[in-house]
């Protein structure tokens, strides 16, 4: 079973440590930030996060502002707000920012656990995410990051795997550079752009054994993965 990765942003070190330990006892992998600025940094540097739990009142950057920054990078990641406040205005603001749920302290950790499980199950049902992809003569298992053609199999790195998965999910359609950078590298700048170009070249090399498969650059916009190169006349 795939490990669920959680970003927990909580400025109370004792409460944060207790909550992290409780979630880890229940088989979650937790990254703990003690302020909003650190929360954003860890969000950008941690691969494949599944959920964010954000305290509202934090130094450096409050939970609402952090949520806005996270939503710019990943509009779909589930968000749960934690707060000592019970004011209706704060709850409404949280939901307006796209919060999936809201808990007022103090709360029972078991209640949070059930809310997390219900939320993730709902998101999974909504997405019905495809794991296995057929790309020309290649077969790609995105969960195992395994790329096969005939009897040959290659294990991809996390970023190679994420890039190929994004391309395969949008096969024959344009993937914008900004979309790939924000989704995989969590930032869109010169340096992450150069890094992505290196990984893109590696993925192209891995797909070279099927002449019908290609990753086509679309000038100044992005790229497309196609697996019918001859038939489409490209």
- Give the residue extent of every domain in the chain: 4-127, 132-232
Query: What pLDDT does 124 receive?
Result: 64
Among 90-99, 109-118, 207-216, name the one with the lowest average pLDDT. Answer: 90-99
Query: What pLDDT does 53 receive?
Result: 96
Q: Under 8 Å CB-to-CB from 55, ≥6 apart: which residues?
A: 9, 10, 11, 12, 63, 81, 82, 83
Q: Under 8 Å CB-to-CB from 73, ≥6 apart: which residues?
A: 43, 44, 182, 183, 186, 187
Please report which confidence band the pLDDT of residue 232 belongs to, taking 50, 70 and 90 as the band edges: very low
Q: Region 51-80: what's the mean pLDDT? A: 92
Please report which confidence band the pLDDT of residue 215 belongs to, taking 50, 70 and 90 as the band edges: very high
Q: What is the pLDDT of residues 10-43, one digit of tens each?
A: 999 999 999 999 999 999 999 999 999 999 999 9
Instruction: Indicate whether 207 pLDDT > 70.
Output: yes
Query: What pLDDT does 98 receive?
Result: 79
Third-level CATH fold of 132-232? Arc Repressor Mutant, subunit A (1.10.10)
- Measure the CA–CA gap between 216 and 39, rounded to whole angstroms: 36
Please report which confidence band the pLDDT of residue 233 belongs to, taking 50, 70 and 90 as the band edges: very low
Among 65-69, 104-108, 110-114, 147-151, name the one with the lowest average pLDDT. Answer: 104-108
Model pTM score? 0.67
Share of the chain above pLDDT 70, in %: 93
Query: What pLDDT does 126 receive?
Result: 53
pLDDT, averaged across the chain = 89
The answer to whether domain 4-127 has CATH 3.90.226.10 is no
């Amino acid at each position: 079973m795939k490990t669920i990765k959680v970003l927990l942003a909580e400025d109370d070190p004792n409460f944060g440590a207790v909550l992290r330990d409780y979630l880890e006892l229940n088989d979650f992998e937790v990254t703990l930030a003690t302020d909003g600025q650190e929360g954003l940094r860890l969000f950008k540097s941690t691969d494949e996060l599944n959920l964010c739990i954000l305290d509202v009142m934090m130094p450096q950057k409050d939970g609402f502002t952090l949520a806005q920054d996270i939503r710019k990078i990943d509009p779909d990641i589930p968000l749960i707000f934690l707060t000592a406040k019970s004011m209706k205005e704060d709850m409404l603001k949280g939901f307006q920012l796209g919060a999936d749920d809201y808990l007022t302290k103090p709360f029972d950790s078991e209640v949070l656990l059930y809310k997390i499980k219900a939320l993730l199950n709902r998101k999974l049902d909504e997405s019905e995410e495809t794991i296995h992809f057929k790309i020309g003569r290649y077969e790609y298992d995105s969960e195992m990051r395994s790329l096969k053609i005939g009897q040959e199999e290659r294990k991809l790195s996390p970023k190679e795997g994420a890039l190929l998965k994004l391309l395969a999910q949008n096969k024959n359609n344009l993937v914008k550079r900004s979309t790939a950078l924000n989704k995989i590298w969590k930032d869109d700048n010169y340096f992450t752009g150069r890094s992505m170009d290196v990984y893109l070249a590696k993925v192209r090399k891995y797909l070279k054994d099927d002449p019908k498969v290609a990753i086509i650059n679309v000038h100044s916009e992005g790229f497309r993965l196609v697996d019918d190169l001859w038939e489409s006349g490209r």
